[in-house]
Amino acid sequence: MSQQHPALGYWPKGDAPPNIRRTFAYTLVHLGMNRIPPQPDRIIDTMLDLQDESGLRQGDRGFSRWMLSSYCYVFLP
């Protein structure tokens, strides 16, 4: 959790923008150990805040990040 952003629940912490790929990777590590990552509610809230009306991530042209977000929505409580 030391690298997790305390307010947003995303990885990495600091001034960098939320990184869905890193957050997805850390989520998979936690789930692989039968653990829920810290602050799952904040992770989901931040992902939803980054989406536009179409449900895609703002400014994102790629489909892969949308799929990574969808996986987290399904598997996080």
- At 9-54, the pLDDT tens digits run 988 888 888 888 888 889 989 999 999 999 999 988 888 887 777 7
Question: Considering the domain boundaries, does residue 12 fall inside one?
Answer: no
pTM, entire model: 0.74
Question: Considering the domain boundaries, does residue 64 fall inside one?
Answer: yes
Question: Considering the domain boundaries, does residue 58 fall inside one?
Answer: yes
Question: Considering the domain boundaries, does residue 11 fall inside one?
Answer: no
When divided into structural domains, the chain yields a total of 1
Question: Considering the domain boundaries, does residue 3 fall inside one?
Answer: no
Question: Considering the domain boundaries, does residue 24 fall inside one?
Answer: yes
pLDDT of 2 higher than 90: no
Which structural domain, as residue segments, surrounds residue 30?
20-75
Question: Considering the domain boundaries, does residue 32 fall inside one?
Answer: yes
Question: Considering the domain boundaries, does residue 71 fall inside one?
Answer: yes
- pLDDT grade for 76, boundaries at 50, 70 and 90: confident
Q: How far apart, in Å, are the Cα atoms of 52 and each of 28, 34, 44, 60?
A: 25, 32, 15, 10
Task: Go through 29-68 and write b for each residue having 16 or more CB atoms within 10 A of its CB, e for each that does not.
Answer: ebeeeeeebebbebbbebbeebeeeeebbeeeeeeebeeb
More confident: 11 or 65: 11
